[in-house]
A and B are shown apart, each in its own frame.
Chain A
Amino acid sequence: MLLSSTVNPAEIINQLFPNLWVFIAHVIATIILLILLSKWVYNPFRKAMRARRQKIQEMITDAADKQTKATIKEKTALEMLTTAKVDASSIISEAHAEAEAKKHNLLDETKKEIVHLNEQARKELAKEKEQYQDDIRKAIINTAFDAAEHLLEKEISKEKHQKIIEDFIDNLN
């Protein structure tokens, strides 16, 4: 608010026309303020802005680096997971195949064993049968000899005797 003295024409005239002291004060104030605003306000402001921008840039770069690393790690982990899955699948199928093969082998072996055992049993049976037949034949021969000796009470040749027995046995069969 202008003071009431402003209404005084002399005062207005002096305010309108150049004044030495005001000019000197204004020039000094201008110089001081320009230096001051430059040194204490604008330059520190720009310096602070630069520092902030640099820090933000660093943070962005750091975040980008971390993201890249994370992406690489994620990719590696995914690859590892895929490989592990493939490996696991391969191991399972291999184990499955191996088990199948073993199963087949075992079955084959068992079958062979059974066949072999059967064969062996049959052979033994046949052998025992033969043995028994042989024993029976011998027993019959002996019995026949005894019977013949007793019944005929006469000497017969060995060949004739043998023939009689064999005929007897053949008749038995």
Chain B
Amino acid sequence: MNNKSLIFANLIPDETQSGMGAWSYTVLLPQLITIVITTFIIMMLSIGYYKRLKKLGPTDVPGGLVLFAEMSIKWVEQQVVELMGPKYKSLTIYVMYLLLYIGIGNLMSVVGFESVATAYTVPLSMGLVTFIGIYYFGIKYHKIVFFKKYIVNPLELLTQFVPLISISFRLFGNILGGSIIMALFSSLMGFIWGQIPYIGPVDLLSGVTLPFLSLYFDVFDGIIQAYIFAILTISYWALEIKEENNKGSEERVVAVKRKPLSKKELKIAQKA
């Protein structure tokens, strides 16, 4: 078997396999379709916004999609500026991407598609960007001091992976957990409905109860997880910047204290 055939092998999961034997990195997962549809939806929304915005003049009052989009972008921008400072305003694009991609990707489960976050590859990839970002800002602002903590306390080497695991598993676990609860609840409702004799094959019990659970696990939880992921990402990055900024401000305070008083100031102080 050559390399090419290695990649394209196991496109369908082998149900006879169990444990790690079932894993194949080339299996076609249903999340692939969700990724494509999510990208398409965001594209359509972006084009819709862009076309409507083009028609608006500077004095025209925005409405509908444009108004909603502008309010949302402004809110995201405000979050980024508050956490990271105005210098990193351009990171709004990445936060917008995270919110839209995870949010819409999770909402796809409402219409029967798999959430994008239920394939751990997706949260892990996004978590890696966050993780690399922490290093980028850490090295940028702390320089070589950033690595000092690993020498002082080698246990830091282990804890540094906490943000990556925490941020990616939080998203994956919440969405997958919600999906499993939904699946289990659906089975339970089906089982209860099956106990009622002469009622027919239509599971009305699931039809009545599951929408409310779906509202929480698919809609609410899906959007909340997108928000948490985005905010955590910029918070981790902001932490590296803030530490540097705080240190700088402390130094400035010390510098102000050390500044000697002029003769005139001394006279005024003595008189006072």
Contacts and interface: CB of A to CB of B under 8 A. Distances in A.
Interface of A: 1-4, 6-23, 25-27, 29-30, 32-34, 36-38, 40-42, 44-45, 48-49, 51-52, 54-55
Nearest to A35: B93
Contacts of B118: 2, 6, 15
A1 B97 CA distance: 23
| Interface residues of chain A: helix, strand, loop or mixed (majority) | helix
A116 B110 CA distance: 126
Contact of B97 (A15, A30, A44): A30
Contacts of A26: 35, 116, 121-122, 125
Contacts of B180: 2, 6-7
Contact of A19 (B25, B38, B96, B176): B25
Contacts, number: 166
Interface in B131-182: 172, 176, 179-180, 182
| Interface residues of chain B: helix, strand, loop or mixed (majority) | helix
Given A10-B17, A14-B23, A48-B58, 6 more contacts: A2-B179, A13-B23, A26-B122, A34-B93, A36-B43, A41-B96
A119 to B, nearest CB: 92
Given A22-B32, A23-B121, A9 B18 contact: yes
A1 B32 CA distance: 16
Interface stretch (B45-53, B195-203, B233-241, B250-258): B45-53
